[in-house]
């Protein structure tokens, strides 16, 4: 597969093309092609996740000197979560370059969004390995931080759990509770579906790579469902 088009769109030209390719290899592809000698992208994803968080933290710290630690943390979470990463990956056309098993290639639902998000993190990890932090940060500043303004305008960075708790206490005189509805994936790549309840009523649910992210999405959906947003 020729990745030159993706390099052009992303604005990054790799020295090590094998490293670039590895960023797009999902574990399922290796399971079906064990004799290929290739490696999946999970180690690069692990690295890219850390690089992304550091670059975003540095950007927000300098960009918003008036924000406190809690606000910066919430905004950072919105910029590095699976939804944002998947959105950026789709804009770059990453979907056309994924190396997946036959089964995974047919699934275009929520699971594909997670794969795209993980691939973007792996790509960032690959940039770091190929060219260092400055190049990875340059990519992040070009393609991810420009979403900051829109996220602030939509209010998706606000701590939805805290807001929903306030509204539930105000309108229902009760504190909401959260329960794990589904949990899947290996330990290094868990996916969670969390439900938020008022009493015994399920009022919203959300997905995430961590329980915290899933709870935030569940709270956002609950706010919409109750008309409290």
Q: Can 207 be counted among the known catalytic residues?
A: no
SS3 assignment, position 122: helix
Continuous H helices in 23-81: 27-32, 42-63, 69-80
Fold of the 160-226 domain: Double Stranded RNA Binding Domain (3.30.160)
Report the C-alpha gap between 144 and 78 in whole angstroms.
11
Q: Which of 45, 104, 121, 215 is catalytic?
A: 121
Q: Can 172 be counted among the known catalytic residues?
A: no
37-89 confidence digits (pLDDT tens): 899 999 999 999 999 999 999 999 999 999 998 889 889 988 998 889 999 99
Q: Say which CATH architecture domain 14-154 belongs to.
A: Orthogonal Bundle (1.10)
Q: Where in the chain is the domain with CATH 1.10.1520.10?
A: 14-154
The pTM of the full predicted model, rounded to 2 decimals, is 0.77
Q: Which of 49, 104, 137, 213 is catalytic?
A: 49
Mean pLDDT of 127-132: 98
């Amino acid at each position: 597969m020729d990745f030159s088009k993706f390099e052009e769109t992303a604005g990054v030209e790799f020295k090590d093309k094998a490293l670039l390719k590895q960023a797009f290899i999902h574990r399922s592809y290796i399971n079906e092609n064990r004799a290929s000698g290739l490696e999946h992208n999970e180690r690069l994803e692990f690295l890219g996740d850390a690089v992304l968080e550091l670059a975003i933290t540095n950007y927000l710290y300098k960009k918003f000197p008036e924000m406190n630690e809690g606000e910066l943390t919430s905004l950072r979470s919105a910029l590095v979560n699976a939804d944002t990463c998947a959105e950026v990956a789709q804009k770059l056309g990453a979907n056309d370059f994924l190396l997946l098993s036959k089964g995974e290639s047919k699934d275009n639902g929520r699971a594909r969004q997670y794969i795209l998000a993980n691939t973007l993190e792996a790509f960032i990890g690959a940039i770091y390995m190929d060219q260092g932090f400055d190049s990875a940060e340059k990519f992040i500043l070009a393609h991810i931080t420009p979403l900051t303004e829109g996220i602030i305008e939509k209010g998706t960075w606000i701590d939805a759990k805290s807001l929903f708790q306030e509204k539930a206490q105000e309108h229902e005189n009760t504190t909401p509770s959260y329960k794990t509805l589904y949990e899947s994936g290996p330990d290094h790549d868990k996916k969670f579906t969390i439900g938020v309840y008022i009493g015994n009523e399920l009022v919203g649910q959300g997905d995430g790579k961590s329980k915290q992210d899933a709870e935030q999405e569940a709270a956002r959906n609950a706010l919409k469902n109750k008309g409290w947003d």
